[in-house]
Amino acid sequence: MMTNDVPYKTYLTESELPTAWYNLRADMKVKPAPLLNPATLQPVTAEELEHVFCSELVKQELDDTTPFIPIPDEVQKFYRMFRPSPLIRAYFLERALGTPARIYYKFEGNNTSGSHKLNSAVAQAYYAKAQGLKGVTTETGAGQWGTALSMACAFFGLDCQVFMVKCSYEQKPFRREVMRTYGADVTPSPSMKTKVGRAINEAHPGTTGSLGCAISEAVEAAVSQDGYRYVLGSVLAQVLLHQSIIGLEARTAFGKLGVKPDTIIGCAGGGSNLGGLIAPFMGEKLRGEADYRIIAVEPASCPSLTRGRYAYDFCDTGKVCPLQKMYTLGHDFIPSANHAGGLRYHGMSATLSELYAQGMMEARAVEQTSVFRAAEQFARVEGILPAPESSHAIRVAIDEALRCKAEGKAETILFGLTGTGYFDMVAYQKFNDGEMNDYIPTDEELAASFAKLPQA
């Protein structure tokens, strides 16, 4: 251990950086089910989507056959600000666990948005600018996506309107200030600025908001202003496409090291990080060129893959977005208020859902106190304070490394460390003070939520 055969960190040179994104769907024999128009319940057309999304992004969303899509020059330049991200050998964690497993992580937190979200934000802002738009609207929960989009919009000179879930807006004033420093307009949601916001405020006075509700507000704001479109930080196929940069870089770095991972682990909320991290590896698996064990990790308090239904459902509370076939807990599902760890979306990327349905990957749900224990252990030996979201992957990576120890196996584990927890110290404080607890929804709660699925 701690020998120099593999460096602690592996960076690609600029000439080794990917110049095209990889579209995982091109290698799927059974494709993800099409999006449906919420009014007609028929497959949505490009024309219909273009009222909401930028034209080039609509093309990417609907393209499930082209395997590689070139990354525009300006986006490649922006990527050089914060990419390549390092592939890190977790020597110190291995030593602390006493495991024969070789643990690697791809760290996406070395940028001001604090996470991988910037990979797609810069692409989406670029296409909006190229289309001559004035600005974009979006929602943000924990604030990582909103921050990333603010940074991208500041760079391209686009107006950026962010609807931030009200409880986050109030509990995370610093996230809000980062967005403001990048010139974004940040509104707590539900707001009185939109019809859907006013309706939700009226129906649920004093509500602290939800992601599904903020999405509805952002979509309405986009379609009701000239020169604006809506952009989304996860769930959609276009986002997974942009995030494939994570997996592409990781695979190239492993190639340089002459190493192949056995197990790949990522946290899963809407699926942007997991879908990006596994993309090229899953592609090899789909083409029968290699086998990898792939594990999606989700919170036990929001267990869409492990306990959800694979069905068409609305992507947002206000039912203004297209329907998507996905693993879902029901579009009204909101995780318990004591859930601090992010990953609180009710559904899951359609691509990942279909791959999970096909048995191409596993899923595991973990409870938040065990997630924060893993976060603390990791922080103390690896020197990075992880985001709660990322810590779901750390939890399972540690569990797998301990299994390897018990079985005496020197497996190679890769996990995605999506970001840092610097804006999540309220959750860490709860954990440090022993005031954090776990919550698992009951079968009855889920059944009530499933009853509202559109085709139920």
Which residues of this protein are in contact with its own copies, per CB under 8 A?
2, 4, 7-9, 11, 13-14, 77-78, 80-82, 91-92, 110-112, 114, 151, 154-155, 173-174, 177-178, 180-183, 376, 379-385, 420, 422-423, 425, 428-429, 432
Q: Which of 292, 252, 237 lies closest to 83 in space, CA to CA?
A: 252
Nearer Cβ to its own copies, position 6 or 33? 6
| Cβ at position 15, least distance to its own copies in Å | 8
- Cα–Cα distances (Å) from 293 to 359, 402, 413, in that order, read 11, 16, 10
Nearer Cβ to its own copies, position 179 or 240? 179
Nearer Cβ to its own copies, position 283 or 421? 421
- Cα–Cα distances (Å) from 139 to 12, 147, 271, 322, in that order, read 33, 11, 16, 16
| Cβ at position 253, least distance to its own copies in Å | 13
Q: Which of 192, 172, 187 lies closest to 138 in space, CA to CA?
A: 187
- Cα–Cα distances (Å) from 403 to 91, 98, 283, 438, in that order, read 17, 11, 27, 24
Determine the Cα–Cα distance for residues 336 and 338; give it in Å rounded to an integer. 5
Nearer Cβ to its own copies, position 92 or 310? 92
- Degrees (nearest 5) of the Cα angle 308, 313, 315? 100
Nearer Cβ to its own copies, position 288 or 434? 434
- Please tell me whether residue 397 adopts helix, strand or coil conformation: helix
Nearer Cβ to its own copies, position 341 or 441? 341
| Cβ at position 137, least distance to its own copies in Å | 20
Nearer Cβ to its own copies, position 167 or 381? 381
What are phi and psi for residue 20, nearest 5 degrees?
A: -140, 145
Q: Which of 234, 214, 216 lies closest to 224 in space, CA to CA?
A: 216
Nearer Cβ to its own copies, position 137 or 420? 420
| Cβ at position 401, least distance to its own copies in Å | 18
Q: Which of 171, 162, 105 lies closest to 135 in space, CA to CA?
A: 162
- Please tell me whether residue 70 adopts helix, strand or coil conformation: strand
95: its two tokens: 């030593």
